[in-house]
Amino acid sequence: MLKPKLEGALNLQLNKEFYSSYLYLSMAAYFEGINLAGFANWMRVQTQEEYAHAMKFFDYIVQKGGKATLEVIAKPENSWDSPLAVYEATYEHEKFVTQSIDDLVNLAYDERDHATIGFLQWFVTEQVEEEANVTKLIDELKMVADNKTGLFMLDRELATRVFTPPPANNA
């Protein structure tokens, strides 16, 4: 059984993950609008990943006897100055999510909830990967700068990304 404070914090994270999915779908729409289908694909995959993350929180809360509570999802930004600006915003968002996960881990330690600590470790590792993937793309976008050929090649590369579902919870 989840303690009320931890249940509330897990529900807050559940909703942050749904917002992340919504944000990345908005970014995919931006890329579709400027005819960068590969970049849009990358963001669509990111959307699926974030939705899967939200569902991991949903399932965990329910498995632990809690009540999953869905809140209103805020309207995400939908316009950026450039592909680089999108990925810089993505990186800032991922840093926010990382801090949120870290705060959850700290709370789980404070509450002495070892099952939740174990559950959250997957997300700790995932956030390292998320931030690294985005910083790699930021570096690549900075390298191509205003080179249309480089942007085209990067767009083609990003079109190959596919969604791989995360492992199921072991709670």
Q: All domains of the chain, ordered by start, with CATH?
A: 4-158 (1.20.1260.10)
* pLDDT score recorded for residue 167: 86
Predicted confidence band of residue 168 (pLDDT cuts 50, 70, 90) = confident
Q: Is 162 left (phi over 0), alpha (psi -120 to 50) or beta?
A: beta
Q: Of how many residues is the chain composed?
A: 171
Mean pLDDT of the region 144-151: 94
Stretch 80-102: mean pLDDT? 98
Q: H helices of 34-82, where?
A: 37-63
pLDDT averaged over every residue in the chain: 96
- What are the φ and ψ backbone dihedral angles of 167, each rounded to 5 degrees? -65, 155
- Has residue 171 got a pLDDT over 70? no
- Cβ burial of 29 (10 Å; 0-12, 13-18, 19+) is middle
- Quick one: pLDDT at residue 170? 54
Q: How far is CA 12 from the centre of its chain?
A: 14
Cα separations in angstroms, 9 against 32, 61, 72, 89: 35, 10, 16, 24
How many Å apart are CA 35 and CA 42, to the nearest integer? Answer: 13
Task: For residues 80-95, give the mean pLDDT.
Answer: 98
Q: What's the whole-number mean pLDDT along residues 51-69?
A: 97
Burial class of 8 by CB neighbour count within 10 A (0 to 12, 13 to 18, 19+): middle
Over range 47-59, report the average pLDDT.
Answer: 98
Number of other residues whose CB lies within 10 A of the CB of residue 51: 18
**Nearest CA-CA partner of 72 in 15, 6, 17:** 15
Q: How confident is the model at residue 26 (pLDDT cuts 50, 70, 90)?
A: very high
Name the band, by pLDDT with cuts 50, 70 and 90, for residue 18. very high
